[in-house]
Structure 1
Amino acid sequence: MLILSDFDGTITSDDLTNRIWDAHLRYDWRKVLLTPAVGGPLTAIELLRRGYADVDRPAAELLDELRPHAALRPGFEELLALCARRGWVFHVVSHGLPFYIREFLPPGTAFSCFDAVFDGRWRVSVPEAVPLGPGDDFKIRVLDQLKAATGETATVYIGDGRLDYPAARCCDRVFAVRGSALDALCAHDGVPRTPFDSFTEICAALDDGGMPDGARAPSCRGDEMRT
C-alpha cells in the first residue's frame, strides 16, 4: 500500500506557510492570493511563488519563528511505525518548502515538495525530479511517479486543504482532517472520506483491514478536478 500525506495543517496542526505569510506579508494575502486561486487562475506553484516572493527573512529566522507552532499532530510517529511494520510505503507530498519540512519531520521520512532558494527574497520552483506539463497537478504527478517506482496499486491520501483535493480524488481511500476544506469538498461532491483528528485514528482504521471492500480510485481526469 502507498500512503501519501500532506504536511501543513495535516502532519502539523498549524499551517506553517500561513504562519510565515501572516507574519511577513504586508497585505491581506488571503484576499489577494486566495480569492483568484478559488476561481482557477492561480495554480499551486503560482500561489507559492507570489506569496514567498514578498518574504524577506532567511530560513534560520523563519525556523525560529515556526518552532513554537510546529508540533506534529498526535499519532504521527505511530503511523510511521505501522507503515514500517506492515511494509507500506509512506511519503509526504507538500506544496510547502524544504527548509521547514526537513526540519520538523522525523529524520528519514521521505517527502516531495517545491524547491526554494533565498537571495534576499524566496524564489520557489518546481523540482526537476517532478516535471510538470501544462495543467499538471504537482501532487498527482508525485503520486503517479511513486506508483510507477514502487509497483504499489492500493493508495491512501491524507490531507486537509483544497489543493489536496485533486490527488485525494485519485486515491482509493481518503482521510481528511475533520472540518477542513478537504473534508468539506469531499462531502459536497460525494467523495468517500474518513474524517480524523489524530493519526491514531488513521492507524486504527488502516490496521483493521486497510481498504474498504471494493475500494477503487475514482477518476482522475484533469477536467474533473478542482484546482
Structure 2
Amino acid sequence: MTQSSGAPKAILFTDWDGTVTLQDSNDNLTDKLGMGYEKRKVLNDKILDETLSFRDGFTEMLESIHVPFDKCIEHLLKEIELDPGFKKTYEWCNSQGIPVVVVSSGMKPIIQALLTKLVGVEAVENIEIISNSVQVNDDKSWKIVYKDDSSFGHDKSRSIREYLARLPEGSKPDLFYCGDGVSDLSAARETHLLFAKRGRDLVTYCRREGIPFTQFDSFADILDKIQQVVRGEKPITFFAEK
C-alpha cells in the first residue's frame, strides 16, 4: 500500500483491560473491592443485551468501590498480568513505525501505572492512551470522569476517527483493532481487521451483528497475522470470519 510521506503503513488500536492484560482491572476492582462478581455479572449481561448502557452499568460498578484510588492502583499492580505476546508485538510495531494506540473505557492513571510496571517507562512514552480520567478528592474519594457524553462514556469509534483525522492527507494505513468485551462494541466497525478474544463477549456480539472478525488467544496470534498483512503475504480479508 502506497503511503504519503510521514504516514504509517498500519496502526494497531487496542483495548486495554482483558485484551492487553489477562485480567480486566475494572472487573477485578468491582469483584474484590466492590459489589462482587454476581452483581457485576447481572449488570454486564444487561449491557450486552443492550437493556442497560455501558456508561450507566460501569458507573454503578465503580460507585460500589469505597477504597482510596491510590490503594486501588496498589491492589491492581499485584493482581494484573500482561498478555505474554503483547511486549513483543509492541516492540515489533515500534521498530516498523506502526503506532500502537490504547483506546480504553478504563481510567488513564491505572493504565499508565500497569503499562509502566508490565512493559516499561519507554512504552508509556511511545503508546498513546485514549481513555477516561479520574477525579480524586481531598478526602480520597474518587469518581471516573468520562471522556465524552455518549452512552459508552467513551465512544471508541469517535476516538478512532479523531485519531485518523490527524494523519497526513491521503494516508491509507491498514487499521487493526483488538478487543474482548462490551466496551469495544462501538469500535467494532471502525477498522479493517478486528481481533476479538476467543470466548469473550465481543465474539458473541460480532456473530450476532454479522461483523467480520478474527479470534485470538494471545497477542502472539495478533502479531503473526499483522506481520503477514504488512509484509503483503496475505490480504486482510483472508483472516476475517463471521
Provide the TM-score with structure 1 as the length reference: 0.82
- Alpha-carbon distance change, 38 to 159 in structure 1, aligned in 2, over 3 angstroms: closer
Q: Distance in 2 between matches of 1:150 and 1:58?
A: 39
Q: Match for 1:206: what amino acid?
A: I
CA contact (8 A) 2:103 2:159 kept: yes
Q: Match for 2:133: what amino acid?
A: D
In the alignment, which residue of structure 2 is the partner of 1:65?
75
CA contact (8 A) 1:132 1:141 kept: no
Q: Distance in 2 between matches of 1:104 and 1:93?
A: 15
Q: Where do 1:22-61 residues align within 5 Å?
A: 22-26=31-35, 28-30=38-40, 33-40=43-50, 42-61=52-71
In the alignment, which residue of structure 2 is the partner of 1:219?
none
Q: Are 2:172 and 1:150 equivalent residues in the alignment?
A: no
TM-superposed deviation, 1:11: 0.4
In the alignment, which residue of structure 1 is the partner of 2:200?
180
SS in 1 for 2:110: helix
SS in 2 for 1:96: strand
The number of equivalent residue pairs is: 213
CA contact (8 A) 2:69 2:142 kept: no
Q: Distance in 2 between matches of 1:14 and 1:204?
A: 23
- Alpha-carbon distance change, 135 to 80 in structure 1, aligned in 2, over 3 angstroms: closer
In the alignment, which residue of structure 2 is the partner of 1:8?
17
Q: Match for 2:141: what amino acid?
A: R
Between the two proteins, what is the percent identity of the paired residues?
A: 25
Q: Distance in 2 between matches of 1:214 and 1:158?
A: 14
Q: Distance in 1 between matches of 2:141 and 2:80?
A: 23
Q: Distance in 2 between matches of 1:50 and 1:92?
A: 24
Task: Indicate the larger mover: 60-69 or 91-100.
Answer: 60-69
2:218 paired residue among 195, 198, 205: 198
- Alpha-carbon distance change, 180 to 34 in structure 1, aligned in 2, over 3 angstroms: closer
For structure 1, the 5+ residue unaligned runs are: 216-227
For structure 2, the 5+ residue unaligned runs are: 1-9, 238-242
Task: Indicate the larger mover: 152-161 or 184-193.
Answer: 184-193
SS in 2 for 1:157: strand
Task: Indicate the larger mover: 139-148 or 63-72.
Answer: 63-72
**RMSD after superposition:** 2.6
Q: Are 2:210 and 1:169 equivalent residues in the alignment?
A: no
In the alignment, which residue of structure 2 is the partner of 1:102?
112
SS in 1 for 2:82: coil
Provide the TM-score with structure 2 as the length reference: 0.77
CA contact (8 A) 2:15 2:102 kept: yes
Q: Distance in 2 between matches of 1:183 and 1:134?
A: 21
SS in 2 for 1:150: coil
CA contact (8 A) 1:174 1:193 kept: yes
Task: Indicate the larger mover: 198-207 or 44-53.
Answer: 44-53
Q: Deviations over 1:20-70 (max 9, x none)?
A: 001222464325533442343543333332222232212221122222321
Q: Are 2:157 and 1:140 equivalent residues in the alignment?
A: yes
Q: Match for 1:159: what amino acid?
A: G
Where in structure 1 do 4 or more consecutive aligned residues deviate above 6 Å? none
TM-superposed deviation, 1:94: 0.8
- Alpha-carbon distance change, 136 to 114 in structure 1, aligned in 2, over 3 angstroms: closer
SS in 1 for 2:188: helix
CA contact (8 A) 1:59 1:99 kept: no
- Alpha-carbon distance change, 158 to 31 in structure 1, aligned in 2, over 3 angstroms: closer
